[in-house]
Chains A and B, each alone.
Chain A
Amino acid sequence: MALILLVAEVEGGSLTDIGGQLALAAKNVAGAGDEIAVAVMSDDPTAAAESAARLDVSTVFSIAHPALAEGGTGGFDAPVSALAALCSEKQPSVVLLGKTDFGSNVGPRVAFRLGSGFAQDCIDLRAESAADRIAITRPVHGGNAMAVYRFRDRDPQVATIRPNVFDPEGVPDEGTPTGAAEIVQFDAAAAIGETRSRLIEVVAEESKGVRLEDADVVISGGRGLGGPAPFERLQELTDILGGALGASRAACDAGWIDHGHQIGLTGKSISPRVYITFGISGASQHMAGCSGAKAIVAINKDADANIFKEARFGVVGDWEKVLNGFMATVQELTGN
């Protein structure tokens, strides 16, 4: 009988999707008799804890503390201390977090503080039971290779799971019957103590129109465009198709377009119906951000570009000439 502890996340008082995804991932390592619990941390986790109780778990640990507001993201001192205290008391064999801003900051520090092992950005995990040593799979070298690791003997085995790899039907809504999960208050005030770093302010830089993460159609440009002006033309196409505009890191770093448009391992992850790329070579760091796209379309003058290996449709040619023909036909088809 081993314990698997999931660490859900709270945004604006509500549970995010990652909790359900972790509950699904936990099935891969849960043996008969293993217990699955979820931790919910916030300044006021009441509503989120009730949502978490609808997940397929037996216990919800609800941790309330003012320093856990906004996920305690002002340096993450508070959630690290709270989670380490919970682990010390409950002795989980496995701790799973999302590979999100929260999870990728909190997970490694908790593992280090407890002297155990940590695996980042896992896309698969396997074990007969949680007391076993888990084997995890993670992309490395920017997605060029996959690595399978196995944890050594120290518990807890801490891992972050790449979002949207495990895909349940979202967070159970209020219509879902409450499971048998018991909500237990866990007091972490002593462990949290005084936090050293603090959050001064959060500044939203909302992109106008459809969010990249939610868009059905994403149009994107890269180094091959050669400058900032072409992005205005891509924006035009994006508007006609009702999509969102993306870019490669190279284009963002060159200052041609704002970093809010960056797609890739260190940018946004998208999962549109179709991802149409102009002048993007398809470095694996970029492809890691669009692996969720149902269809990738590549327009690139280099027939050997990596993007053609991942694409379903492609045109080898000058982006501007291809775009001219493409846009004209799209306008005819859509009447926009």
Chain B
Amino acid sequence: MAIRVVVCVKQVPDPDTPASAFSVDEAAKVVVTPPGTPPVVNGFDLHATEAALRVKDAGGDVEITVLAVGSDFVMDVVKRPLSMGADELVLVDDPSLAGLDASGTARVLAAAIEKQGPFDLILCGRQASDWDNAHVPLGLAEILNLPCITFARKIDMSDGSVRVERALTDGYQVVEAPTPCVITVTNELGEARYPTLRGIMAATRKAPTNLTPSELGLNSDDLAPALDLERLFVPESDRNVEVIEGDDEEDAGRRLALRLREENLI
């Protein structure tokens, strides 16, 4: 029987948008995306996709489903995991899911996973680059009553269990859990592979499976936020940089060292 892996991914504003181009609409409490900057798949979710593909590369019959929850999906963007080599894409796509918070997202993901499952592994990125919550996978594990191992940098599947290296700030832990299990993946896993031309062609031909919250038996209470957003703003920077100049760049370097010594910084 095939090992079934689901990778939860999120479409987010491009986090490499320069800070100078970043702005928020304080009245609407939303981030304003500068024109001409398409969204991306959250970076850590691509690492999670890579982790799933490595499980597949390790051998055996492995089937990878990609699951995204949201609205206003850009098809070329959310198909990226497919073009990397994932097998199918499931979108829970509904206008009511715009601005869904972490607890709502966990509930929708859990319902979709129960409908499309069973899965042996549920992989997520360690956090999303928009709201930086690192909260959804843990909630998902609680709802599904599964163990959760976070910050994976290496995943080894064996029959009925999984062994994970968890990245710590100074080293790593090895943790073992029975499957099914929720695992979050961190960038220490290594770079996510680029889509191949063949992968892109294959992804183009694959139509996503579309689901709605009502098809998943979810009502507005399930989607209600746990906290209310009262204010969203860009903090003011209060530092004024003192630019050190010199006859040339080397000289500027010398002057910088002297200036830092004057300030007792070095």
Contacts and interface: CB of A to CB of B under 8 A. Distances in A.
Interface stretch (B16-24, B59-67, B85-93, B206-214): B16-24
Contact of A306 (B20, B259, B263): B20
B250 A325 contact: yes
Interface stretch (B3-11, B114-122, B195-203, B227-235): B227-235
B178 interface: yes
Interface string A283-299: 11100000000111111
B171 interface: yes
A198 B253 contact: no
B204 interface: no
A116 to B, nearest CB: 7
A191 B38 CA distance: 47
Contacts of B103: 112, 117-118
A296 B241 CA distance: 9
A259 B167 contact: yes
A108 to B, nearest CB: 4
A140 B132 contact: yes
A302 B187 CA distance: 27
Contacts of B127: 266
Interface size class of A (residues with CB under 8 A): 35 or more
Given A112-B103, A113-B142, A145 B134 contact: no
Interface stretch (A25-33, A168-176, A310-318): A310-318
A252 B172 CA distance: 16
Listed residue (B131, B176, B227, B229) with the most chain A CB atoms within 10 angstroms of its CB: B227
Interface in A240-273: 241, 249, 252-253, 259-260, 265-268, 273
A326 B257 contact: yes
Contacts of A145: 22, 24, 31, 232-235
Interface stretch (A40-48, A199-207, A227-235): A199-207
B265 A273 contact: yes
Contacts of A190: none
Contact of A204 (B130, B171, B254): B171
Interface in A126-147: 135-136, 138-142, 144-147
B225 to A, nearest CB: 7
Listed residue (A77, A142, A252, A285) with the most chain B CB atoms within 10 angstroms of its CB: A142
B176 A197 contact: yes
Contact of B239 (A116, A200, A312): A312
Contacts of A76: 148
Contact of B19 (A108, A206, A309): A309
Mostly, the A contact residues are mixed
A314 B170 contact: no
A283 B18 CA distance: 8
B135 A295 contact: no
Listed residue (B126, B226, B261, B266) with the most chain A CB atoms within 10 angstroms of its CB: B266
Given A116-B226, A314-B241, A321-B248, A146 B235 contact: yes
A334 B169 CA distance: 31
Listed residue (B150, B254, B256) with the most chain A CB atoms within 10 angstroms of its CB: B256
Interface string A203-225: 11111000101000100000000
Given A75-B147, A145-B22, A322-B253, A120 B133 contact: yes
A267 to B, nearest CB: 8
Given A145-B232, A200-B163, A206-B171, A285 B129 contact: yes
A323 B148 CA distance: 45
Given A109-B138, A297-B260, A321-B249, A313 B242 contact: yes
A311 B239 contact: yes
A77 B230 contact: no
A333 B245 CA distance: 20
Closest 10 CB pairs of A and B: A325-B253, A117-B226, A325-B250, A321-B249, A197-B177, A329-B257, A326-B253, A317-B249, A112-B142, A322-B253
